[in-house]
Structure 1
Amino acid sequence: MQNANHKTMELFLKKQGNLAPQRYKYSELKKMTKSFNDRLGKGGYGSVYKAKSRDGRLLAVKILNESKNNGEEFMNEVASISRTSHVNIVSLVGFCFDGPKRALVYEYMPNGSLDKFVYDTSLSGRLGWEKLFEIALGIARGLEYLHRGCSMRILHFDIKPHNILLDKDFQPKISDFGLAKLCPDRASVISMSGTRGTIGYIALEVFCRNFGEVSHKSDVYSYGMMVLEIVGERKNSDSGVGRSSELYFPHWIYKRLERNGDREGFDGIDDDDDECRLVKRKLTIVGLWCIQTDPKDRPSMSRVVEMLEGKLESLQIPPKPYLSSPPREVAIASFSESSSML
């Protein structure tokens, strides 16, 4: 079985041709990371280490768990990112496929991931709302590129603050394409078995096809939930309304928006700066449009970019979403039933 998987991946890499980035030996990565001395992060996929190339360039090396679904995540990342070139998409410098060892080598992002700036108000306050707005807009442009600007449409399926990296200037870059789906015919709707994504950011149609068809609009939902987290400065599972709080987080956000009716400001925040209030209101309206229950009611990422770049007074407040992510106990059950899909 292991030998068959090895042949499958070698064939896959051969098919990538000139698109495939530089190939490293595991021994080279060990030298570049000083025997994996400086770990930047850890997740279900494995660990990420700081590295330095021969020419002195700083890199991030992602070592994948050897048991990670026969290399599916590895192939997804290489296939997806090799086809991209955008200021808001992380660059894949190279990879390692050396016996049982698999790794991905990325450009190094000195400011880490967005999640720490969203959930730590002292850090988000240091950035300021103008910069947070620029970050939200940059992510939207990156997703628009994945959906429309690539030679092949790419659906990410795991947009969340943890997967948004920030460079030295806090410019956002979408990362972690392990769950991505490539659409060769640029199809809007895709066929997909099982569920993929992170609880709290997964659109309802990805859990249950009765809510609609899985498409690029599923990424729009995840983006919208992330934007609302930026506005609320907290996780969508931490809105203080109990263990099934994913159901209520958008309602909590919506009520904050409703308090001012048609006025331009945004009640319930401590900012004295009117500009901050307007930025929060715009992000809130756009975020709520993105998480509409019916995928057909959500804007495309191109429209999202237009809304963010346009005037606040031109935006209509969307209908209150009557559902958001499935309750945690339902989500966990779904993941248990289809654990092989990731």
Structure 2
Amino acid sequence: MTKSFAHTLGKGGYGIVYKGSLSDGSEIAVKMLEDTKDDAEDFINEVVSIGRTSHINVVTLLGLCLHRSKRALVYEYMPNGSLDKYAVGVVDTVQGEKSLSWEKLYEILVGIAQGLDYLHRWCNHRVVHLDIKPQNILLDQDFRPKISDFGLAKLCKPKESKISIGGARGTIGYMAPEVFWRHHGAVTTKSDVYSYGMLILQMVGARENTNASMQTVSKYFPEWLYDNLNQFCGAATEGIDSRNTCISEVARKLVTIGFWCIQSTPEDRPSMSEVIDMFDRSMHELQLPPRMSCCGIDNPSIV
């Protein structure tokens, strides 16, 4: 299928992904998991969690290969790669750089929210992903987002809300505080909501004409963004056709939703269904949360 692993798509925390094709010509992505001594927990997690799902915003697992210590997962191929490869609102790009419009980013973030809402509410067993970040969001030929990489995922029964984990899971900068500081509360679907909020803030900050100023900011990025929101939203329109006067409001709305998602207390965060409702509201209906509730966590910067 992979022509002896001739075309590498990328390397993640759990193995290398190769491009391949089936006998009917369909393109696929094959993730070869690294040999580990963890009793193949990441392999089992991925198969069990994603094997139960079927949603337009969750990557489709087509099959698996298991031979002695060799383990591979076969997925649908995503031609536009992962979300972290893209800057936002950049008009003049250097050769090879990829850019998304603010409108397209908005659509992508709505799709991710819908995928997470499905995982949290509509599966036979709730799926808590525990590693939501731009690198784990893949884009198909139409730039439709697909949640991927379920190696850290945990399942819980529909009537259960709390899950038990043996240690911190996820990526620094995106992990909810309760994942590594247990006194903040139990690990639940709200832990994914926090990671999603950090993903939003990461993507709205991933712009060439703001990155230079970000490099001079020593503060934790959400804190800086909260204190400089008007400046940031004004910068979002720089270099953009004057007819697109709503871009500043799009940026402000995304940041506002992101701040609600990163509330330090899990109970203060919205559910993913409530996040989807926020996207349906006008900016005038949304208010920023209190500053300390979303800027008082000493997490590493994500920009």
TM-score after normalising by structure 2: 0.89
Instruction: Find the counterpart in structure 2 of residue 198 from structure 1.
Output: 171
User: For residues 187-231 of structure 1, what are the alpha-carbon distances to aligned partners after superposition, in whole Å with 9 as ceiling and x for unaligned?
Assistant: 222222210000110011111111122111100000000001111
**Identity within the alignment, %:** 54
Runs of at least 5 residues in structure 2 that lack an aligned partner in the other structure: none
1:140 equivalenced with 2:105 (yes/no):
no
Which of 169, 173, 179 is residue 142 of structure 2 equivalent to?
A: 169
Partners in 2 of 1:125 and 1:275 — Cα distance?
A: 22
Partners in 1 of 2:290 and 2:207 — Cα distance?
A: 23
Which of 211, 222, 225 is residue 253 of structure 1 equivalent to?
A: 225
Which of 305, 314, 338 is residue 285 of structure 2 equivalent to?
A: 314
CA contact (8 A) 2:127 2:153 kept: yes
Q: Is the radius of gyration larger for structure 1 or structure 2?
A: 1
CA contact (8 A) 1:146 1:153 kept: yes
User: For residues 38-67 of structure 1, what are the alpha-carbon distances to aligned partners after superposition, in whole Å with 9 as ceiling and x for unaligned?
Assistant: 000012311000000011110000000011
User: For residues 258-302 of structure 1, what are the alpha-carbon distances to aligned partners after superposition, in whole Å with 9 as ceiling and x for unaligned?
Assistant: x37xxxx93333244222111111100000000011111110000
Is the alpha carbon distance of 1:208 and 1:266 closer, same or farther for their aligned partners in structure 2, counting shifts above 3 Å? same
CA contact (8 A) 1:241 1:248 kept: no
Deviation at 1:316, TM superposition (A): 1.0
Is the alpha carbon distance of 1:229 and 1:327 closer, same or farther for their aligned partners in structure 2, counting shifts above 3 Å? closer
Which of 243, 267, 277 is residue 234 of structure 2 equivalent to?
A: 267
Is the alpha carbon distance of 1:193 and 1:304 closer, same or farther for their aligned partners in structure 2, counting shifts above 3 Å? same
Partners in 1 of 2:115 and 2:37 — Cα distance?
A: 27
1:221 equivalenced with 2:194 (yes/no):
yes
> What is the DSSP-based 3-state SS (H/G/I as helix, E as strand, rest coil) of the residue aligned with 2:228?
helix
Is the alpha carbon distance of 1:234 and 1:129 closer, same or farther for their aligned partners in structure 2, counting shifts above 3 Å? closer
CA contact (8 A) 1:63 1:104 kept: yes
Partners in 2 of 1:322 and 1:229 — Cα distance?
A: 15
Partners in 2 of 1:68 and 1:134 — Cα distance?
A: 40
1:48 equivalenced with 2:17 (yes/no):
yes
Instruction: Find the counterpart in structure 1 of residue 45 from structure 2.
Output: 76
User: For residues 103-153 of structure 1, what are the alpha-carbon distances to aligned partners after superposition, in whole Å with 9 as ceiling and x for unaligned?
Assistant: 000000000000011489438884311111000000000000000011110
Partners in 2 of 1:325 and 1:68 — Cα distance?
A: 33
Deviation at 1:185, TM superposition (A): 4.0
CA contact (8 A) 1:153 1:182 kept: yes
CA contact (8 A) 2:89 2:99 kept: no
Partners in 2 of 1:68 and 1:110 — Cα distance?
A: 33
> What is the DSSP-based 3-state SS (H/G/I as helix, E as strand, rest coil) of the residue aligned with 1:318?
coil
Q: Which has the higher helix share?
A: 1
Q: Which deviates the most, 68-77 or 288-297? A: 68-77
CA contact (8 A) 2:179 2:187 kept: yes
Runs of at least 5 residues in structure 1 that lack an aligned partner in the other structure: 1-31, 329-342
CA contact (8 A) 2:220 2:299 kept: no
Instruction: Find the counterpart in structure 2 of residue 101 from structure 1.
Output: 70
Instruction: Find the counterpart in structure 1 of residue 262 from structure 2.
Output: 291
Which of 34, 52, 65 is residue 65 of structure 1 equivalent to?
A: 34
Equivalent residues, number: 288
Partners in 1 of 2:267 and 2:60 — Cα distance?
A: 32
Is the alpha carbon distance of 1:62 and 1:68 closer, same or farther for their aligned partners in structure 2, counting shifts above 3 Å? farther
CA contact (8 A) 2:35 2:70 kept: yes
Partners in 1 of 2:80 and 2:107 — Cα distance?
A: 15
Deviation at 1:327, TM superposition (A): 4.3
Partners in 1 of 2:126 and 2:246 — Cα distance?
A: 36
